[in-house]
Amino acid sequence: MAVTRERQTKAPEATPEAVVAMAREQGVQIVDLRFTDLFGQWQHFSLPVRELTVDIFQEGVGFDGSSIRGFQHIHESDLNLVPDPATARIDPLAATRTLLLICDVYDPVTRAPYSRDPRYIARKAEAYLVRSGVATTAYWGPEAEFFVFDDVRFSESANSAFYAVDSDEGIWNSGRDDRPNLAHRPRHKEGYFPVPPVDSLQEWRSELVLKMEEMGVEVEVHHHEVASAGQCEIDMRFAPLVEMGDRLMLYKYLVKMFARLRGKTATFMPKPIFGDNGSGMHTHQSLWKDGTNLFYDPQGYANLSETALFYIGGLLRHTPALMAFCAPTTNSYRRLVPGFEAPVNMVYSKRNRSAAIRIPVYSASPRAVRVEYRPPDPTANPYLAFSAMLMAGLDGIRNRIHPGEPMDVDLYELDGEGPAIPQVPGSLDQALRALEEDHAFLLEGGVFTPDVIETWIATKRRRDVDYVRLRPHPAEFYLYYDA
C-alpha cells in the first residue's frame, strides 16, 4: 500500500541521497536548516529546495557566527552548518511544504566541529560514555512542562516595569463579567488530571500530539498539570542523548508554534504565575550496556544496582554546579524554593517527589528501573544539561561516590528534626559560583572545554544575573514606597 504524502514525513534511511529523494517525492519547496545556540535557543535559515544537494551534507552552508549568542567574535565570524540527514522531517505546521534539517556547526578553516556547538558537546558526551567502558548507551526521558496562555503582556524601561498573563482557564476568571461565564476552571494547585471541561486543553494537546507523531517524535502520554491557567505536560518516549536533545528542541518548537496557530501562546518559563506550581523538567535517565540495564539489581534498594547508587552519588555531589546548566535562568529559582513542592532537597528516595532524585517504582520490569532527576527545568539547553548530568553520574561511578541512605519520608514534615538536609542553590548567581568551583568532572575526556564553561558563566552573569539584579522590582514599590 502506498504511503500517503501526509504521513511520510521522515526519510526512509539516513543518507543524503535518501533525503534529497524524499524532498523531491514529497513536494518540498523550502529547506529549513536549524541549529542550537550555546544557551538553548533554536536558530534557522531557509533555502529553496533546488539548493538541497548531496554536496550540502559534506560542504555545509556558511553563516555569521558572530551574530549568534555565545558563538564567535566579529573578527572570526564565519562558521558552517552541516545538516544531519538522520534528522530530516517535514514540518507539519508550515503552510509552505518545508523540510527541517538539524545541523552540526563546523569551523570552515579547520573543518573541525565547532567547540561551542551544544550538539557537538552532546556527541562527545556519548562517545566518552562508550570509551569509559561503563556503558554503551545512556537513555533520557525529560518531562518538560509548559503553560498555554491566551494573553501575555510585559514591558520594562527606565521608569516602568510590568507583566500580565491571562488564560481563560485561570481560576481568577471565575468572577469575570462574561455573559455567560461558563466556569469549570481548575483551582490553584488542583489542575492535575481533571477531565474536560475543567481540562480545557485536552483537544489542543491531542491535536498537537498527532503532529508530533507525524514527525516521528514518539509520545507516551499527555495531560494537564497541577497549576491553573493552562499548565500542561507531554511526555516523549525515552531516547539516546543526542537524539533526545533533537526531540526536545522539536518539542518546544511544536508546542510554541501550534499554540500560535491556534491563537494562543505557550511558554516554558519555569515560574510565570505567583502562588501556583512552576514548570519543571524531571529528567529520567539510565545506563545500558549491550542491551542490559546497568541500573537494575533485584536485591537492591528500589531495585537499584550499586552502579545506579554511585551514579546518584555523582548527581548529588555535583548538583550545585549542575544547576548552572539544568536551571539556567533567574526565573528558575522562583520555582526552586524550600518549603513548597519544588525538589530542592539533595537526597534520593523511591516514590518521594520531595527529593531531588526519585526512583520511580511503577513497574517491576528490569527495563523500567531508572533515576529521575527533578531539579531541572525546560529553559535548559538539553544538549548541555543532559551531557552535564551524564558526566556527573559517571564521575560518581568512577569515584564510587555513595549517596548515603535514602530519605523515604515527607521532607517538608520534618520540622527541623534530624540532620540538616543540603539543598540546591537559591539563585542563579550561587549556581554559577558553584560551577566555577566544581567543573573538573565536566572536562573529563574533553567533553566540555574551559572555553565553553567560562563563556557560559560570563554571559549568564552579564545577561541574566546583572540584568535582573540591577532593576527595581514592582514588588519593591509595594513593600517600600512609603518608607
Is there a catalytic annotation at residue 225? yes
CA distance 166 to 149: 6
Catalytic, out of 97, 188, 262, 353: 353
Catalytic, out of 91, 117, 143, 276: 143
Catalytic, out of 6, 13, 51, 64: 64
Is there a catalytic annotation at residue 372? yes
Q: How many CA atoms does the CB half-sphere of 315 hold within 13 Å?
A: 31
Q: Please, are residues 28 and 98 in contact by the beta-carbon 8 Å criterion?
A: yes
Catalytic, out of 34, 185, 247, 282: 282
Catalytic, out of 372, 377, 429, 464: 372
Name the DSSP class of 216.
Answer: T
Is there a catalytic annotation at residue 143? yes
Catalytic, out of 32, 37, 145, 297: 145
Is there a catalytic annotation at residue 64? yes
Three-state secondary structure string covering 200-214: CCHHHHHHHHHHHHH
Q: Quote the distance between the C-alpha of residue 235 and its chain's center.
A: 12
Catalytic, out of 284, 370, 374, 439: 374
In which region does residue 70 sit, left (phi positive, over 0), alpha (psi from -120 to 50) or beta (all else)? Answer: left
Q: Taking Cα atoms as reference points, which of 277, 352, 287 lies closest to residue 315?
A: 287
Is there a catalytic annotation at residue 213? no
Q: Which residue has the cell 508554534?
A: 257
Catalytic, out of 91, 104, 233, 429: 233
Is there a catalytic annotation at residue 282? yes
CA distance 323 to 118: 17
Task: From residue 199, give the alpha-carbon distance in Å to each of 9, 184, 187, 196.
Answer: 31, 8, 11, 4
Is there a catalytic annotation at residue 76? no
Is there a catalytic annotation at residue 233? yes
Catalytic, out of 225, 395, 429, 464: 225
**Angle of helix 319-326 versus helix 428-437 axis, rounded to 10:** 120
Residues annotated catalytic, as ranges:
64, 143, 145, 225, 233, 282, 353, 372, 374
